[in-house]
Every structure is written in C-alpha cells, then in structure tokens.
A and B are shown apart, each in its own frame.
Chain A
Amino acid sequence: MGKTKTILDNSKVFFAEVGDISYFTARFFREVFKPPFEFKELLRQCFNMGNRSLLLVVVTGFILGLVFTLQSRPTLMEFGAESWMPSMVGISIVREIGPVIIALICAGRIGSGIGAELGSMRVTEQIDAMEVSGTNPFKYLVVTRIVATTLMLPLLIIIGDTVALLGSALIENLKGEVSYLLYFNQVFDAITYADIIPATIKSFFFGFAIGLVGCYKGYYCSKGTVGVGEASNAAVVYTSMLLFIIDFIAVFITDIFF
C-alpha cells in the first residue's frame, strides 16, 4: 500500500513538472519575439558557449572517429568490405553518432553550467535584483541562453562531425593506406541531403532542449547551496533523457519522409 502511494506521488510530481516546463516553454515563445531584444547578451552567450565547449567537442569528436574506425576495421575486413569504410563511418557519424554524442557532451558542459549559473543567481537574489531594476530577467537570462544553445549546437555538431571524419581518415590513411582525398571523396559520395538535413534539424532541437532544461532548473532553483547543485545535476540528467527521446522521434519522422 505504502509503495503504491509513493509511485502515485512520484507520478503526480512528474506531471506537475511536465506542466511547469510546458508553461516555461510557452513563456519562452511568448517573449522571444517581443522587443526589446537583448542582442548583446545573446552574442556574449553564444561566444561563451562556443568558447567553453569547442576544445571538448574537438577532442571527443576526434577520438570518436579514431575508435569507431579502429573497431569496425576487423569486421569489415572479414567480409572484404574495407572499401565501404568511408561511407559507413560517414553516414553513421553524420546521421546519428555525431549529433547524439556531441549533444550529450554539451548537456554536461553547457546545460549543467546554465543550471548552476541561473541557480546561484536565483539563490543570491540576483534575479530579483534584475527585476526590480526594470529588466525582465526571463528575457535577459533565459531567452538569450535558450536561443544561444539552439544556434550553437548545430555549429558544434558540424565541427564535431568534421573532426570525427578527420580522425577516421587518419586511421584509414595509416592502416589501410587510403589517401585523404580518396577517403573524403567517398564520404561525400555516400552522404546525401537526406542525411544532412534531418540531422541538422535534429541538432537545433537538441540545442533547444539543452538550453530549456538548464534554464528551467536554474530559474526555479530552490533556496540554499544544495539547490544549486541539484539544479545543475538535474539539468544534465533530464536533458540527457530528453535528448534520446528527441532522437527517437526524429529518427521515426525521418524514416517516414526520407
């Protein structure tokens, strides 16, 4: 009996949260198109996010390309299909692995950062201070961050994909003696718009999810330093989950149209 109640309570909390975050999303769309626009702050956020995650994305992407190619080589060789390597790696990285891995990295880097930053601003009353000085904190802090992640994620994912392909080409060059030119020729032969467009659209949604959840958790952070840690942590956990859900839906829709 006790157990049933806990599950019931938990699901109540869950649905209340879904309601809150829907309201938060609606408020974002209401305010994003309404002047005054905070362009300067938006640019600053874009720059900060790019600056803080670029190295991480490059390193992860490179290793991803290396490892993926190294691991697939033996299997492909067994079937005498090494020549398929560039197209296989190219398609899987551009369509699926690149966006998901890099979005997860950014959820950890950017999402948790936003959760912690807004959380500590809430706890130390900086958000209240903004509001009494006549600046709409939702616009200044939340809208700019969500727009920034939505714009920056596709960019970071393109960079990550490119570096991953470079890593893969390096292995092929060393082990299979395939020239870089040949490698990339094959990659670009294999990849079509039907791979690139859905992946890019998906990355915008990934970016939106990272910004939205980070901001939501930070903006409604509970009092105390514990609250800030929780906001930052919850931002990563919920975003990661949401990323997979978005990915699933995206793949499902892509499957119908392409």
Chain B
Amino acid sequence: MESENKIVPVLELKDLRKSFGENTVLNGFNLKLYKGENLVVMGKSGSGKSVMIKCLVGLIEADSGSIRIKDHDITKLGQKELDILRTEIGFLFQGSALYDSMTVRENLEFPLRRHKKKLELKGHTETLVIEALTNVGLADAIDLMPAELSGGMQRRVALARALILKPKIILYDEPTTGLDPITSKEIIQLMRTIQDTYNTSSLIITHDVDCARVISNRMILLVDGINYAEGTYQELIASQDPKVQAFFKN
C-alpha cells in the first residue's frame, strides 16, 4: 500500500532556481510530496522556504525548473487553469494573512466567491463556513473581526479558510511562528486531526524542531538553496553532518 502510493508524487519540484538580482535564493531545489504524507521542509530564517512554497502555487515566478502538481506543469498553465488548480490546494500563510477589513465569516466566504455556481443552494455557503469553523473549534467567532482575535485564534481561522474548499493538498508556511508553545501545540494537534479527517497530503515549512518531530513522516533540510539532506526525523537527528546537526542543537 505504502509503496503503491509512492509511485507518483502529488506534487513535485525539480531543479527549482530563483534569484532576486544578485541574491540567489534557490539553486536547484528538488522535492516530491507523496499522497497522504506529512513532509516537513526545515531551513533557517531567510533560507528561501517561503520563496519555494510561493513558487509552488505560482505567486512567484521561478527562474527555471519544473513544478508539477497532479499532472499539471504549473509554469505552463493559463490563469484560468491555474485558478482551478489552486482551489485544490490549501495555503496557510506565515502570519495568517486574514483580510483585516472583513469579518471572520467574510474571510471564509472569500475563497468561495469564484465558486458560487457550484454552490447553487443558497444555504450551502453558510453550511461550509460553519463546518470549517467548527473543525477548528471557533464556531462562535464567526462575526468577529480578525483584530478582535488572539494570534492563535487568527491562525485557526486562517486554517479554516485554507480548508474551506476541502483541498487534497495543504501547504503550511511556518504554522507555529509567532505563537506561544502551548498554542503551537494546539495548532499542531489541529493539523494532525485535519490530516486524519480529510486524508490530505501536507507540505509543512518550519524552523520549529518540535513541530517537525511531532508531525513529520519525512523531512527535507533546505540549506544553501538546495535540498541538503532528506530522511525521517530519527535519521536526520542521528546524522553526523555538522550542517544537519546545527538544526537540532539548542
């Protein structure tokens, strides 16, 4: 079963390169995400993790390399096809990125506006919003503004928004940054629950070793713009390579 899933990755980056002027950020990065797994990419702050994940969904144009999601080469897709493909991917942004001029409800409805036709029943939007909020345990925050929520609650709402179209792939950009340890644990727990309920494949970017230990099936270390080391948490922590060890110290 396991090996069967591993034949075709749902998401694949090959030889991804990206520079900003003189600053080379990604220098031939490779990654394969298989169905149902939690893949963690670790890297220092500023090592290009966010750039990599944004290339994945076409927010940043890569200089070269191929990006495949479910048999589509996203560098070759038109705007319409790209938008359709994006509905199958949930994206949790580093700082939650809730729209601060909208209520929680409007935030969650936003990804649905382009899919109104599919939701012909009028009550359907409401049902989806409430369902998504209930999943993250915040059903009663529906009419609040983001500014009225704590950091942890904002992150949950952002997660609900990422999940509202029931994506099969979820990309997390530092899901626990800026949160206290207890709230971080809650968010990680929530991520695991979501993974179990929806059987999603997740790509998690973090520099939080605890988060990586708890959630990862497999890890990639991003160093100097390449996938420097790969393996399970146990394998990597046992590594003798000083660059790898640097991640697990302190």
Contact = CB atoms under 8 A, between A and B. Distances in A.
A134 B86 contact: yes
A125 B111 contact: no
> A interface, how many residues as a size bin?
10 to 19
Interface in B79-132: 83-84, 86-87, 89, 91, 93-95, 97-101, 110-111, 113-115
Interface string A128-152: 1111111100000000000000000
B100 to A, nearest CB: 7
Interface string A94-109: 0000000000000000
A121, A124, A130 interface centre (most CB from chain B within 10 Å): A124
A132 B95 contact: no
A84 to B, nearest CB: 50
B192 interface: no
Nearest to B114: A134
Contacts of B100: 120, 124, 126
Contact of A134 (B93, B101, B111): B111
B222 interface: no
Given A125-B94, A125-B97, A132 B59 contact: yes
B16 interface: no
Nearest to B50: A125
A125 B95 contact: yes
B114 A124 contact: no
B59 A135 contact: no
Interface string B39-71: 000000000000000100101000000000000
Contact of A128 (B83, B87, B97, B115): B97
A23 to B, nearest CB: 16
A132 B54 CA distance: 10
Nearest to B99: A126
Given A128-B54, A128-B59, A133 B97 contact: no
A132 B89 contact: yes
Contact of A132 (B84, B86, B101, B115): B86
A182 to B, nearest CB: 49
A39 B98 CA distance: 22
Given A131-B59, A133-B86, A134-B83, A124 B111 contact: no
Given A126-B98, A128-B54, A128-B59, A135 B114 contact: yes
A132 B110 contact: no
Contacts of A125: 93-95, 97
Contacts of A120: 100
Given A131-B59, A132-B91, A134-B83, A126 B97 contact: yes
B59, B86, B97, B100 interface centre (most CB from chain A within 10 Å): B97
Contacts of A132: 57, 59, 86, 89, 91
A135 B95 CA distance: 20
A117 B102 CA distance: 13
Contacts of A124: 95, 97, 100
A133 B110 contact: yes
Contacts of B57: 132
B110 A130 contact: yes
A134 B87 contact: yes
Nearest to A44: B101
A121 B110 CA distance: 15
Nearest to B112: A133
Contacts of A121: 99
A118 B59 CA distance: 17
A129 B89 CA distance: 12
24 contacts: A120-B100, A121-B99, A124-B95, A124-B97, A125-B97, A126-B97, A126-B99, A128-B59, A128-B93, A128-B97, A129-B91, A129-B93, A129-B99, A130-B99, A132-B86, A132-B91, A133-B86, A133-B110, A133-B111, A133-B114, A133-B161, A134-B83, A134-B86, A135-B113
Given A120-B100, A126-B97, 12 more contacts: A124-B95, A125-B95, A126-B100, A128-B93, A132-B86, A133-B86, A133-B111, A133-B161, A134-B84, A134-B86, A135-B113, A135-B114
